[in-house]
């Protein structure tokens, strides 16, 4: 059965593009019902529009301006996402921590991609943190994981897939990040292919 996806993004959307390409190429039996961003300028929104996919910009600032908290934002986010009746919600570079106000509506249905191995380098600076740890001699590789998001913990939850990414002596953050992105694109699509 063709899986319905809602993809949440905040930025460039290269992982979104990998999903779009895999669907177009027939590698992934899915349809993207909606691409939603919390950032207006996210290039991923352009990628979605180009592919004929519905987009939505859900801004946090109006909630802050009205003295409403992020739970109110997350509750409305859940309503918007629910309208599209997704089988899976894919966090592909989504840089907003989801509260239970959102997650309780989609148990075992939210999939996150994170550029680190389980238990290592949670948060927004995983690539930089891995390179620093490598330079200190603490690790010799990093990796990617795709996992379910059961609760508000950041970059934690049942692991669906992992891939190792070597770190090289001459790596910069940019070089390592580029190598990691290539692995992410493959791992995310492969993982989505397996979801039941």
Confirm or reject binding of residue 12 to ligand GRF (CB under 6 A): yes
CB of 80 to ligand GRF, least distance (A): 20
Out of 92, 103, 160, 189, the only residue in the binding site for ligand GRF (CB under 6 A) is 92
Contact set for ligand GRF, span 31-50 (CB under 6 A): 44
Which stretch in 12-20, 52-60, 67-75, 128-136 sits in contact with ligand GRF by CB under 6 A? 12-20
Contact set for ligand GRF, span 112-171 (CB under 6 A): 113-115
Confirm or reject binding of residue 99 to ligand GRF (CB under 6 A): no
**Separation CA 154–CA 168 (nearest Å):** 27
In sign, the C-alpha dihedral spanning 79, 81, 83, 89 is negative
Q: In terms of Cα–Cα distance, which of 88, 142, 146 is closest to 113? A: 146
CB of 178 to ligand GRF, least distance (A): 10
**Separation CA 162–CA 159 (nearest Å):** 8
What 3-state class would DSSP assign to 82?
A: helix
Beta carbons within 8 Å of 106's beta carbon, 6+ residues apart: 78, 81, 86, 89
Which stretch in 13-21, 31-39, 67-75, 78-86 sits in contact with ligand GRF by CB under 6 A? 13-21
Tell me, yes or no, if 114 is annotated catalytic.
Answer: yes
Confirm or reject binding of residue 86 to ligand GRF (CB under 6 A): no
The burial of 190, by beta-carbon neighbours within 10 Å (0-12 exposed, 13-18 middle, 19 or more buried), is given as middle
CA atoms within 13 A on the CB side of 78: 18
Out of 34, 88, 93, 99, the only residue in the binding site for ligand GRF (CB under 6 A) is 93
Tell me how far CA of residue 86 lies from CA of 14, 109, 110, in angstroms. Answer: 21, 9, 10
**Which is nearer to ligand GRF, 122 or 150 (by Cβ)?**
122
**From 114, 147, 181, 185, the catalytic residue:** 114
DSSP one-letter code for 54 = -
Where do contacts with ligand GRF occur on this chain (CB under 6 A)? Answer: 9, 11-15, 44, 92-93, 113-115, 184
What residues are annotated to the active site?
Answer: 114
């Amino acid at each position: 059965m063709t899986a319905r996806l809602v993809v949440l993004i905040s930025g460039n959307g290269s992982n979104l593009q990998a999903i779009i390409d895999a669907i177009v190429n027939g590698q992934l039996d899915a349809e993207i019902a909606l691409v939603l961003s919390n950032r207006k300028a996210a290039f991923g929104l352009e990628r979605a529009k180009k592919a004929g996919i519905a987009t939505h910009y859900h801004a946090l600032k109006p909630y802050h301006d009205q003295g409403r908290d992020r739970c109110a934002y997350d509750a409305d986010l859940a309503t918007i996402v629910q309208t599209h009746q997704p089988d899976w919600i894919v966090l592909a570079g989504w840089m907003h921590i989801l509260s239970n106000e959102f997650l309780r509506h989609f148990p075992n249905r939210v999939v996150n991609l994170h550029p680190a191995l389980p238990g290592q380098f949670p948060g927004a600076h995983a690539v930089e943190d891995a390179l620093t740890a490598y330079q200190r001699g603490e690790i010799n590789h990093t990796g990617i994981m795709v996992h379910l998001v059961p609760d508000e913990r950041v970059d934690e939850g049942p692991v669906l897939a992992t891939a190792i990414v070597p770190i090289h002596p001459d790596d910069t953050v940019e070089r390592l990040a580029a190598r990691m992105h290539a692995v992410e694109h493959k791992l995310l699509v492969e993982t989505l292919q397996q979801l039941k």
